[in-house]
Homo-oligomer: A and B are copies of this chain.
Amino acid sequence: MYKINDNYTKLPGSYLFSTIAKKVKAYSEANPDKKLIRLGIGDVTLPLAPSVISAMHSAVDEMGNAATFHGYAPDLGYEFLRSAIENNDYKARGVDIAIDEIFVSDGAKSDSGNIGDIFSLDNRIAVCDPVYPVYVDTNAMSGRTGVYDKATEKWTNVTYMPCTAENNFVPELPTERADIIYLCYPNNPTGAAATKEQLQKWVDFALKNGSVIIYDAAYEAYIRHEDIPHSIYECDGAKKCAIEIRSFSKNAGFTGTRLGFTVVPKELVCDGVSLNALWARRCGTKFNGAPYIIQRAGEAIYSEQGKKETRQMVDFYMNNAKVIREGLKDAGFTVYGGENAPYIWLKTPNNMTSWDFFDYLLENVNVVGTPGSGFGPSGEGYFRLTAFGTLENSLEALDRIKKMTI
């Protein structure tokens, strides 16, 4: 008799955003006349940039012509895209990353889940708390996290690193074992950013303790302050201890277009084995590349015009962030983030739990946010709003929130 992967049955409830989607669907169906404003999931609302649209039309035409048709893509992704990434995301910032250290994928969510495949199940992971659920859930599914304790809302074999207002949402170095350290800056969900000095401490820790850092830089395009690094490889020694994951979802609105990449430097070697080679093997065996059309779309954001257009998109969302942040402050909320990230992280009022505040907002002002506790126990008492809505909706949401009487 075959057996299922029991680790799945240890997972508490469903994936956070599926739960939210179900709650929202139920409310909408019961209240079809209510106009919901969704500032919950990090999904974008602006259309793709004209340069991207134009590149895709050209690529579609190529696919319709035998002479320019493209079948299976190269394992690591097309050179035109990897070369654009190498030059624009790294060389332009003084970071030397080789083209065969860049692996093009269908997005950062897949990569941040799949990267665990190349590591032993014996490793102990360390995560920020609160944290993007995918890191923990995918490790739980592979059996790396022990048992889930409902009382503490923690897995027995995970090192949690609390990020709260007290430490400005950048955690202290772990005192427990931490083989694989997940870091995400600018941070989802707290909207915090890490300075180069702060990040260098993590790199030094990893080098000293033999840890590997999985660095999720999906929100790097939202950085506004000069002293915030866009890549972990801006820190000395990072190529010996860090994997970096990037996304096109937030800098160019590719949430429904799907493109990302992961950098695995060749200097990253464990017991004589190259992690670059392991990841190459994983990609070559379990993945068949992102679509040609989508890789051309990705290339387009690196053209001069594409850069200008995507910069405008990011600026637009950052203006929303400002509107929400300042509006919440005016309404008396305690607010964090939103300065180098598209996420606004707020204290729930009157010590409400995160889920109580979620229900309250949904039912009373028809605004959908994300409960902080859904990201981990230290997120309890916090709430996440995103800047990815329209300006009109962001303004209206704030208007409704300001009129609330809790």
**A residues apposed to B, CB below 8 Å:** 1-6, 8-9, 11, 14-15, 18, 41, 43-48, 50, 52-53, 56-57, 60-61, 63-66, 69-73, 75, 106-107, 109-110, 113-114, 117-123, 133-134, 137-138, 141-142, 179-180, 209-212, 253, 255-258, 270-271, 273, 275, 278, 281-282, 284-294, 390
Q: How far is the CA of A52 from the CA of B63 in the complex (A)?
A: 10
Q: How far is the CA of A53 from the CA of B62 in the complex (A)?
A: 10
Q: Is A71's CB under 8 angstroms from B57's CB?
A: no
* Given contact pairs A53-B64, A282-B141, A3 touches B271 in the complex (Cβ within 8 A): yes
* Given contact pairs A53-B60, A278-B8, A286 touches B119 in the complex (Cβ within 8 A): no
Q: Is A141's CB under 8 angstroms from B117's CB?
A: yes
Q: Is B113's CB under 8 angstroms from A5's CB?
A: no
* Given contact pairs A53-B61, A285-B113, A72 touches B5 in the complex (Cβ within 8 A): no
Most buried by B among A72, A121, A281: A72
Q: Is A287's CB under 8 angstroms from B56's CB?
A: no
A121: B residues at CB distance < 8 A: 5
Q: Is B66's CB under 8 angstroms from A118's CB?
A: no
Task: Give 17 new A-B contacts, CB below 8 A, not counting A63-B256, A256-B292.
Answer: A2-B179, A4-B119, A8-B273, A9-B273, A44-B71, A48-B64, A52-B64, A53-B60, A53-B61, A57-B57, A72-B256, A114-B286, A117-B141, A256-B289, A258-B289, A258-B290, A294-B294
Q: Is B257's CB under 8 angstroms from A8's CB?
A: no
How many copies of this chain?
Answer: 2
Q: How far is the CA of A278 from the CA of B284 in the complex (A)?
A: 25
Q: Is B257's CB under 8 angstroms from A212's CB?
A: no
Most buried by B among A5, A56, A69, A119: A5
Q: How far is the CA of A273 from the CA of B138 in the complex (A)?
A: 19
Return the contact of A287 from the options B44, B110, B211, B255 (Cβ within 8 A). B110
**Chain B residue, CB-CB nearest to A60:** B56
**Chain B residue, CB-CB nearest to A48:** B63
A114: B residues at CB distance < 8 A: 286
A14: B residues at CB distance < 8 A: 281, 284
A3: B residues at CB distance < 8 A: 119-120, 122-123, 179, 270-271
The 3 closest A-B pairs by CB, nearest first: A1-B210, A113-B286, A3-B120
A289: B residues at CB distance < 8 A: 256, 258
Return the contact of A257 from the options B113, B292, B390 (Cβ within 8 A). B292
A47: B residues at CB distance < 8 A: 63-66, 69
* Given contact pairs A2-B179, A3-B270, A285-B134, A291 touches B258 in the complex (Cβ within 8 A): yes
What are 9 residue pairs bridging A and B, where the CB atoms are less than 8 Å apart in the complex? A2-B211, A4-B270, A5-B117, A8-B273, A11-B281, A52-B64, A109-B288, A113-B285, A117-B142
